[in-house]
A = this chain, B = another copy of it.
């Protein structure tokens, strides 16, 4: 007798099949499949034989409410709950959509290293390890490496874990999270925004169709998600600050936007919104200045709907060697470990743009979760390295 995947039960109506599973959510039984419209799955099994594989001891997670710490201490069992399984399935679907979209557009996946000799953003928020006598740091982004690979393959992306040893305890931060970086040779800032909105539109619309069952189980109100179609809104940083001031924020021109500001802004728009042209001074050293106003960078953050905050950050990159060397001086960055990065401007420099997507933030938004920590199988938080 055939042991079948319960998701394919519709192919076995009238047949006697074997099902294997856990009795808390489905039957470990042998039975005959028949249609049953009153059943949640549309099918019913008449059991002809049951064989018990194991009898579990008293299960630690009960139907009653448990505290968050208790649930994360038991994450290895909690993942079995229908809600947590649904979130993990949505995560899988989001990853698949991201990869499929980029592949269809001619991108090559080129994964960048985790162990790196140095970082461009200071070492205070880096995890450090001994690499046979040298100091190595866990990468926070693969972008610089991707720029080298874009010079080889044109359109490239990486997609792997990244690490930030930040002593922050917000609902948007994990110490270990998955990031997709994309980099495209000869792509300018505006084209990058078009690529980003097409990608996010695809991911959200795929989730609505492919993960409909999971979204229903999570009781996600999908009204806003249905609206996620390109083009997204675009607002300059300067206009965003003016708008925020009107709304009562105490932000001043030149300051970076806080999480509350992002929430306020998202309330003003019916679709995701790009905040463009941030002050170059508060953004990363490699961002290309706007030729129309060099105090502003050719960059954008994409803010999700409903207060879920930033999900993408991107920019056009500086392609001029002299300007990049000046930035190294201004940011007091060591030259030697980055000579290879400067080489990319020495030998066949080219205009290029790219962006990074935080996977767990996208999943949190689509699934409508209260905290990013449920969007990854085993979250790593300030006070949590276990299980």
Residues of chain A whose beta carbon lies under 8 Å from any beta carbon of chain B: 3, 5, 7, 20-22, 24, 53-54, 56-57, 59-60, 74-77, 79-80, 84-85, 88-89, 91-92, 95-96, 99, 103, 106, 108-117, 127-132, 134, 136, 138, 145, 148-149, 151-154, 160-161, 163, 165, 167, 175-176, 178, 185-186, 319, 337, 340-341, 343-344, 346-351, 376-378, 380, 382-383, 385-387
A–B Cβ pairs within 8 angstroms, 29 of them:
A20-B186, A24-B348, A54-B319, A54-B350, A56-B347, A56-B348, A59-B347, A74-B343, A76-B340, A77-B347, A88-B110, A88-B153, A89-B153, A96-B103, A111-B178, A112-B377, A113-B378, A113-B380, A114-B161, A115-B175, A116-B385, A117-B386, A128-B129, A131-B175, A132-B167, A136-B385, A148-B387, A337-B386, A340-B386
A56 to B342, CA, bound (A): 12
Besides the known contacts A96-B109, A114-B114, 13 further A-B residue pairs in the complex with CB atoms under 8 A apart: A76-B145, A77-B148, A77-B343, A79-B148, A88-B108, A89-B108, A92-B109, A92-B110, A111-B161, A114-B138, A116-B385, A132-B382, A138-B138
CB distance from A286 to the nearest CB of B (A): 15
Contact A149 B110 (CB under 8 A): no
**Hey, which chain B residues are within 8 Å of A151, CB to CB?**
22, 79-80
Contact B149 A111 (CB under 8 A): no
**Hey, which chain B residues are within 8 Å of A79, CB to CB?**
148-149, 151-152
CB distance from A110 to the nearest CB of B (A): 5
**Hey, which chain B residues are within 8 Å of A112, CB to CB?**
377-378
**Hey, which chain B residues are within 8 Å of A131, CB to CB?**
127, 175, 385
A186 to B5, CA, bound (A): 11
A75 to B161, CA, bound (A): 22
A115 to B148, CA, bound (A): 28
CB distance from A67 to the nearest CB of B (A): 18
A291 to B270, CA, bound (A): 62
Contact A106 B161 (CB under 8 A): no
Contact A380 B115 (CB under 8 A): yes
**Hey, which chain B residues are within 8 Å of A77, CB to CB?**
148, 343, 347
**Hey, which chain B residues are within 8 Å of A145, CB to CB?**
76, 377-378
Q: Which residue of B lies closest to A114 (CB)?
A: B161
**Hey, which chain B residues are within 8 Å of A134, CB to CB?**
385
**Hey, which chain B residues are within 8 Å of A74, CB to CB?**
340, 343
Contact B377 A53 (CB under 8 A): no
**Hey, which chain B residues are within 8 Å of A167, CB to CB?**
132
A349 to B55, CA, bound (A): 8
Contact B176 A7 (CB under 8 A): no
**Hey, which chain B residues are within 8 Å of A7, CB to CB?**
106
A340 to B74, CA, bound (A): 8
Contact A114 to B348, CB < 8 A, known contacts A76-B148, A103-B96, A131-B127: no
A57 to B138, CA, bound (A): 33
Contact A348 B113 (CB under 8 A): no
CB distance from A374 to the nearest CB of B (A): 13
CB distance from A86 to the nearest CB of B (A): 10
